[in-house]
């Protein structure tokens, strides 16, 4: 399959994001989870230890651009499902949470390999630099708008 080279812009970025997200959500849906839950769970898994609940909520807010109440609700959902456990002000991944994460990661990595696998490293590096700059600038715009 070949594609016509397009100029990178907000539309192209959005289309790529939603296509990739839909592919991930197809995996998550088979396991009864949401995109927000997966992103939140991942933050705890990669921390490799307990995470302060307030810090986790702040990371979810920053990553997903959602309200604090929504991020707190996602943490509660994961706790109710038994994928996270809460100890005082800290949250940690449970054995079931780690198993879930590993299962979903294994399934989604197959999709990722098909999507990203044959893209030349130099193209990925250039795209990474552009996306980092776009993210930085968009976050600056959000911060300025909230002042």
Give me the residue spans of the domains in the chain: 22-108
What six digits make up the tokens of 124?
């990925």
What six digits make up the tokens of 140?
């600056």
% helix, strand, coil for the chain, step of 5: 70, 5, 20
Residues 6+ apart with CB under 8 A from 104: 27, 28, 31, 33, 38
Query: Strands 51-52 and 90-93, how do they pair?
Result: antiparallel
Q: What is the topology classification, in CATH, of domain 22-108?
A: Arc Repressor Mutant, subunit A (1.10.10)
pLDDT band at 1 (very low <50, low <70, confident <90, very high): low
69 vs 16: CA distance, rounded Å: 28
**Each residue's pLDDT tens digit, 63-85:** 999 999 999 999 999 999 999 99
pLDDT band at 129 (very low <50, low <70, confident <90, very high): very high
Question: Which pLDDT score is estimated for 2?
Answer: 55
30 has pLDDT over 60: yes
């Amino acid at each position: 399959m070949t594609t016509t080279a397009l100029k990178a812009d907000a539309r192209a970025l959005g289309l790529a994001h939603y296509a990739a997200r839909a592919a991930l959500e197809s995996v998550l849906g088979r396991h009864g989870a949401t995109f927000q839950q997966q992103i939140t769970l991942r933050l705890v898994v990669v921390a490799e230890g307990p995470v302060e609940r307030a810090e986790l909520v702040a990371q979810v807010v920053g990553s997903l651009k959602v309200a604090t109440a929504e991020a707190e609700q996602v943490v509660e959902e994961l706790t109710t499902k038994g994928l996270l456990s809460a100890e005082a002000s800290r949250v940690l991944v449970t054995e079931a949470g780690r198993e879930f994460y590993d299962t979903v990661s294994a399934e989604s990595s197959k999709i990722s390999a098909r999507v990203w696998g044959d893209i030349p490293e130099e193209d990925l590096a250039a795209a990474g630099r552009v996306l980092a700059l776009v993210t930085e600038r968009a976050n600056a715009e959000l911060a300025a708008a909230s002042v």
